Chains A and B, each alone.
Chain A
Amino acid sequence: MILSQLPALQVTLPLIAAPLCLLVRSGRAAWGIALFASAASFAVAVLLLSRVLDQGTLSYEFGGWAAPWGIEYRVDIVNVFVLFVVTAITTVVLFFANDSVRKEVDASRQSLFYTVWLLCLTGLVGLVMTGDAFNLFVFLEISSLSSYVLIAFGKDRRALTASYQYLVMGTIGATFVLIGVGLLYMMTGTLNMADLADRLPAVMATRTVRAALAFLVVGISLKLALFPLHLWLPNAYAFAPSAVTAFLAATATKVAFYVLLRFLFTVFGVTFAFEAMPLGIILAVLGAAAILSTSAVAIFQDDIKRMLAYSSVAQIGYMVLGLSMASVAGLTASILHLFNHALMKGGLFLALGCMAYRLGSVRLGALAGAGYRMPWTMGAFLVGGLSLIGIPLTAGFLSKWYLVQAALGQGWWPVLVVVIVGSLLAVVYVWRVVEMAYLRRPNDSDASAVREAPLSLLLPTWFLIGANLYFGIHTRLSVGIAGKAAAVLMGQSQ
């Protein structure tokens, strides 16, 4: 039955398509293959989602080797939702990539570009699917290594140093994860996550397990770009090609967040991570600091891409803040924001890609008067910005609404202040762009030749921006699934 093989297909589709891209050598054909592969994996993700909603958690044993010895893929409502987000985003961004990449990457290297893209997708999807801690490390490395390469494709030579720094930091993070997994293996003799969760309570009180928690949390936080471990992120995002930034910003940190959720809630369990260990307060403080500090930094940035990169770090702060509450309501808000942030940042970075395509630069000064010459692009940016701020009827509002309700529910008043101040700071940095685009005259006369971005770029951009509006009004899918996922993580049955 093909349907029972879906979990395997999800990972193998992009993995097999990747070398195909390399073989065809033509950028266009490679793009076609990449698009087909990711659209197919999106279809698989949708099928999986509907099956999980119908039948509950699915388990798949690779090669017929039963867990805990073989590698098990476990698909429950939490990871299937993340899968859905990742595969949807990569498909939409690939539509955008065709024209954008042709402008930003040498023709000779385009097939290579799509190969690496698909490898990165494989890594991300595998990270989400796997139920095996060591297998997770392998996929983490696949996705990381390929994302270093993707970033290095940037036109600006500084992309190389940015990618190199990310490589060093990412490797440290991955090593920490490996150390953490190793320590857990040492104590329990198993690598299967479900099995680990069964066996860990017996050895909870040991220092080894505590050290494992520390290594895992710090390692994953590096990949997640949790403040103050976010320092690699702004440059990596700023100098990568436009499509890559949109892809990574909307998926890579989300997947890292999922991994953190999985380890803390499924493997270690809420009681250990948040009651025996002071993890809640640590993460809450770091999350709040991320929101306030990096939003303030974003205000002063001249490079809009960097500005949005800092804003991404702040948004990760919101997710971590929700997680740190260790409650169903808080997790619902976090997972909802994971989804919504993928939509808004994806949309915003694509809008930036449109600007880069026509203006050649995304520095603030280059945008003077762009609102009149590129009305659809700037309109997309504006709506995405409103969602980022959290205006009602946009997706961003919902995440903040649920986050604040969750915080007030357990009496965490300061969170309300942090969220409101964070939103006000977001108003300021979005406003700088709006003011420049709509209220300033263009600097030079030759810029009048600038036209609206082509439809092939605008359609995917507006697709994501439209999703921001759609999911700002219709909450059944997003809030419904986020709520169910939170309940599963907190150990309440569906």
Chain B
Amino acid sequence: MIELPPFVIFYGAAIMVALLPHRLGQVILLATPLAGGLVLLGMTADAALQWNIMNLVLEPLRVDRLSLLFGYLFHIAAFLGVVFSLHLRDRLQSSASLLYAGSALGAVFAGDLLTLFFFWEILALTSAFLIFARKTERARRAGIRYLFIQVVSGGLLLAGTLMLYRESGSLAFNHIGLGTFASGLIFLAFGIKCAFPLLHNWLTDAYPEATVTGTVFLSAFTTKVAVYALARGFAGTEALVYIGAVMTCFPIFYAVIENDLRRVLAYSMINQIGFMVVGVGLGTALAVNGAIAHAFNEVIFKGLLMMSMGAVLYRTGKMNGSDLGGLYKSMPITTTLCIVGAASISAFPLFSGFVSKSMVMVAVLDEGHPVVWLALLFASAGVFHHAGIKIPFFAFFAHDSGIRTPEPPLNMLIAMSIAAILCVFIGSYPWLLYSLLPFEVNYVPFDRSHVLAQFQLLVFSAAAFAWLKISGIYPPELHATNIDVEWFYRRLAPRAVQRVGRLVSSTGDAAARALRGGNKALMRSVFRHYGPEGTLARTWPTGSMVLWVAVLLAASLVLYYL
């Protein structure tokens, strides 16, 4: 019985990768997820490690069926990511990737909220390096925004933890449930990382700006840790059902008009997480099983899609749908693998998405949420549309862009092939996955109604795409930046007001100007007070300092005499 927390292996390896020569580093990179996986296979669902420090009882390792499954998943994802990025000669990125994967493992095996918080923050920090590693000004800015939001999420988690500890005297991370202010803060912290609607923009903003290999890692861990945390702490919270339903639907519109294909995938990730959130919110055995199984599958097929787009970006340097097309002629293997991923995300029967998504859908109907069910149905059609068809179509088919590139390096092809094989294997033989789920599974995926319903959905969705495309209604792929809620903080409201204002009337325009002016004035005022030469920062004349002393003394005297 080895009770070694999995993150230890990854952290140790990350340090070695940072210090050792490149070749040796590659071996360690490959060996880490394998060694970690072996250790994990040796663990049973009751292993735990307690640590009495800081006058607190911390639990850096707590294994049960839920965390164990995520543990397996993250090892697989780390392995895929490592193989995909084996060609890299960037120590910072390689070691940040290992630290990132290790922190995700640390978070899912954390038995108490404080340990969870610790890994929550390290997760944020290390993942930001995968964005910075792109080394463009755009990526740097996106990375800063990303990091800031993630750190705020950590701050909320800590605040909630502190208050919860005060209330209950325990740090253990078990079911929390909404109800108190403290649990609300924790819920919000999880919600930010889980990309709840209106809190989601860090994801679509930053993921497409990361490096080719960085995005593959990013898409696997951060949000899945949040899904895990929700499943552990807030299973059965009804609000989640509705939040999840919104998450499945709204990204579709953005995904359809988006040009950057990796951003399309980022939107579709929110959509997929929506299914999981709905499942967690229902809280029944079938629903939670479905949510977890879907998280498992999503990491693999989204990883596959991200890898195939990464391969395209790596070879062509382009990621906009309008610049690509016709690549199937020179990248046939990548095209095929991408289509496997697309089929999986669209939940084609015999591909992995099908065996897990339908569990959530059935559970929704069982629990009597027909409206939510319809929303999910719409979302399923939408997924096929923007991820299943749009991604392969614009990248590899559509109009021929004339780009001719070789297939990506061998390691990329191997990583994609492994992912594709997993997609098909889980899709055709789901029982292995089912046996690992936290609750017992009585669900039969391949019965007539499920398969038929899904086929109808897919066929009609495909027909809709074809008709829209032929009749020219389909939104063309343009070089445009689409507005999303991140503009509230990226352009700090005035820009949005300005746009609405222009539509409404010229008075609106004036309002926008006023608001923009107000905003500038606010920044100016912050700078005036806090900037390097600001009131609070500059060197004061001695006389003014003494004045403050006098003021404080006078005030104290007055207050004491009162």
Residues of A within 8 A of B (CB): 164-165, 168-169, 172-173, 176, 207, 210-211, 213-215, 217-218, 221-222, 228-229, 231-232, 234-235, 277-278, 282, 293-294, 296-297, 299-302, 310, 391-393, 397-398, 401, 404-405, 408-409, 416-417, 420, 423-424, 427, 431, 438-439, 472-475, 479
Contacts and interface: CB of A to CB of B under 8 A. Distances in A.
B53 A404 contact: no
B327 to A, nearest CB: 33
Contacts of B517: none
Interface in B132-149: 132, 140, 147
B549 A392 contact: no
Contacts of B546: 168-169, 172
The B interface, classified by DSSP as helix, strand, loop or mixed, is helix
Interface in B104-141: 114-115, 117-118, 121, 132, 140
Nearest to A215: B553
Contacts of A420: 155, 158-159
B118 A408 contact: no
Nearest to A424: B155
A479 B115 CA distance: 20
A278 B559 contact: yes
Nearest to B92: A438
Nearest to B152: A424
A213 B560 contact: yes
B118 to A, nearest CB: 4
Nearest to B554: A214
B553 A404 contact: no
Contacts of B530: 293, 296-297, 299-300
Interface string B53-65: 1110000000000
B531 interface: yes
A409 B544 CA distance: 39
Given A296-B530, A424-B155, A409 B549 contact: no
Nearest to B18: A375
B446 interface: no
B536 interface: yes
Nearest to A439: B132
Interface string B524-562: 001100111010110110101110110011001101110
A120 B534 CA distance: 33
A416 B162 contact: yes
A297 to B, nearest CB: 5
Given A169-B542, A172-B546, A214 B162 contact: no
Interface in B176-199: none
B549 A475 contact: no
B163 interface: yes
A297 B542 contact: no
A474 B52 CA distance: 10
Contact of B545 (A169, A213, A296, A409): A169
A420 B548 CA distance: 28
B534 A300 contact: yes
A213 B552 CA distance: 13
A424 B54 contact: no
Contacts of A221: 552
B162 A405 contact: yes
A322 to B, nearest CB: 15
A213 to B, nearest CB: 6
Contacts of B531: 300
A290 to B, nearest CB: 11
A297 B159 contact: no
A474 B53 contact: yes
A472 B118 CA distance: 13
B151 A475 contact: no
B165 A302 contact: no
A217 B536 contact: no
A416 B556 contact: no
A398 B532 CA distance: 31
Given A210-B560, A231-B545, A479-B55, A294 B536 contact: yes
A184 to B, nearest CB: 14
Given A213-B560, A408-B162, A420-B159, A231 B537 contact: no
B166 interface: yes
Contacts of A310: 537
Contacts of A164: 542
24 contacts: A168-B545, A169-B542, A169-B545, A211-B557, A213-B556, A218-B549, A229-B552, A234-B537, A277-B560, A282-B556, A282-B559, A293-B530, A297-B536, A297-B537, A299-B530, A300-B530, A300-B531, A404-B162, A417-B159, A420-B155, A424-B151, A427-B151, A473-B54, A474-B53
A474 B537 CA distance: 37
B549 to A, nearest CB: 6
A433 to B, nearest CB: 14
A401 B549 contact: no
A214 B118 CA distance: 43
A241 to B, nearest CB: 19
Given A301-B532, A408-B166, A218 B540 contact: no
A172 B545 CA distance: 11
A211 B92 CA distance: 60
A409 B118 contact: no
Nearest to A293: B536
Contacts of A176: 549, 553
A408 B163 contact: yes
A174 B166 CA distance: 41
Given A210-B561, A391-B118, A408-B162, A401 B54 contact: yes
A296 B115 CA distance: 29
A472 B537 contact: no
Interface string B306-344: 000000000000000000000000000000000000000
A228 B548 contact: yes
A416 B159 contact: yes
A297 B118 contact: no
B510 to A, nearest CB: 32
Contact of B54 (A173, A302, A475): A475
Contacts of A417: 159
A230 B163 CA distance: 32
B553 A218 contact: yes
B55 A475 contact: yes
B117 A392 contact: yes
Nearest to B544: A231
A225 B272 CA distance: 54
Contacts of B155: 420, 423-424
A232 B549 CA distance: 12
Given A405-B165, A424-B152, A168 B536 contact: no
Contacts of A416: 159, 162-163
Given A401-B162, A420-B155, A423-B155, A297 B534 contact: yes
Nearest to A393: B118
Contacts of B162: 401, 404-405, 408, 416
Between A231, A398, A427, the greatest number of chain B beta carbons within 10 A of the residue's beta carbon is seen for A231
Contacts of A299: 530
